[in-house]
Structures are given as C-alpha cells and as structure tokens.
C-alpha cells in the first residue's frame, strides 16, 4: 500500500478482524514477507526522486509525472493530462499481493481498488513516443522496475485494461 489508500484498507480490515486488525495474520501469496496485516500495510514507500533525476540527467523528455497515491491510478494520472486528452493503460504492473488479497477477502471490486490504490503502479510518466524505450531502459539502469503502461488518446478519460477487465474513468 505504501502509505496510500489507508482509509479504505483500514476500514475493510477492521470490518473483517475487529479493532486489532493490525495483529491479524497476513495470508497473501507473499506471506513470507509479512507476519500480520499491520506489517503489510506499513511496507515503506518507494522513493522516485532518484529515478526522475536520472531521467532528466540523461536528457530524456519528460512531459508529465503522476505519483500514484490515494486517489488511485486513474484520478492521479488524469491530473497530468492536458485538457481533452485521455489514456489507455493496457500494460500496468499486476496489483501487489496485499492489495489482491484484501480485494479477495474484503469484497472490494476492481473498480474501487483502482480508484483508491496504486495497485502496484507507484509512478506513471509521460514522454514522447520515440523516447519511451530509452526512458524505460534508463529507469531499469537506475534500479527501478519500469515498462510501457499504455498510450495517450484524443478522447478524455482514462481506460484501464487489467486482468479484471476494462475499467473506464471519466
């Protein structure tokens, strides 16, 4: 979760496990990393400043950057788009195991999860199409996982094509 969307996560876990939800055993696919739900929610945030500095130092064109915090993928990414532009994000990273597990046990729909959480996508950058591969390579050389997430469109709104289907946000 990396400090994002805590209100929804906390309310869901409290409903499931009571006031001491933070001590409830965590049973996600990465349970070897966290003993409790409290530990899973306190995983440290990834700091992106070194990645952005490396991109800029390499002279790569950076046209926008969205730190995906509370407010989820679509809302945060819409803020960097110029008026009237939209995006199709059809190659996002998979949701982090704690997010997947909380959706399963808490009955949280994909629409809600992607609206409140980063779902494994902590930062989205916008660059010129011809610079996209170089930007991904620069990020990888700097120690960050990166991939092309999608493309911009002339139609406003953000469409996410994820394992759960197509999610549209105006």
Whether 90 contacts 153, CB under 8 Å: no
What class does CATH assign to 47-169? alpha beta
| Residue located via tokens 């049973």 | 27
Q: What is the pLDDT along the chain (170 residues), one digit of tens a residue?
A: 766 788 999 999 999 999 999 999 999 999 999 999 999 999 888 899 999 999 999 999 999 999 998 789 999 999 999 888 999 999 999 999 999 999 999 999 999 999 999 999 999 999 999 999 999 999 999 999 999 999 999 999 999 999 999 999 98
Whether 74 contacts 114, CB under 8 Å: yes
pTM above 0.85, yes or no: yes
At 101 the three-state DSSP class reads helix
Rounded (5°) CA angle 142-86-91: 45
């Amino acid at each position: 979760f990396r400090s994002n969307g805590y209100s929804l996560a906390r309310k869901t876990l409290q409903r499931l496990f009571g006031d001491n939800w933070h001590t409830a055993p965590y049973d996600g696919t990465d349970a070897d990393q966290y003993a409790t739900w409290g530990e899973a929610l306190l995983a440290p945030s990834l700091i992106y400043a070194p990645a952005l500095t490396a991109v800029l130092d390499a002279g790569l064109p950076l046209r926008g950057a969205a730190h995906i915090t509370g407010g989820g993928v679509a809302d945060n990414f819409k803020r960097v788009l110029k008026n009237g532009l939209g995006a199709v994000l059809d190659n996002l990273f998979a949701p982090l195991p704690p997010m997947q597990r909380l959706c399963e046990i808490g009955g949280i729909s994909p629409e809600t999860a992607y609206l409140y959480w980063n779902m494994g996508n902590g930062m989205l950058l916008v660059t010129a199409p011809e610079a996209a591969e170089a930007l991904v390579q620069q990020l990888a050389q700097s120690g960050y996982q990166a991939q092309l997430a999608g493309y911009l469109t002339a139609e406003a709104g953000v469409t996410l094509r994820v394992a759960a289907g197509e999610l549209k946000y105006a």
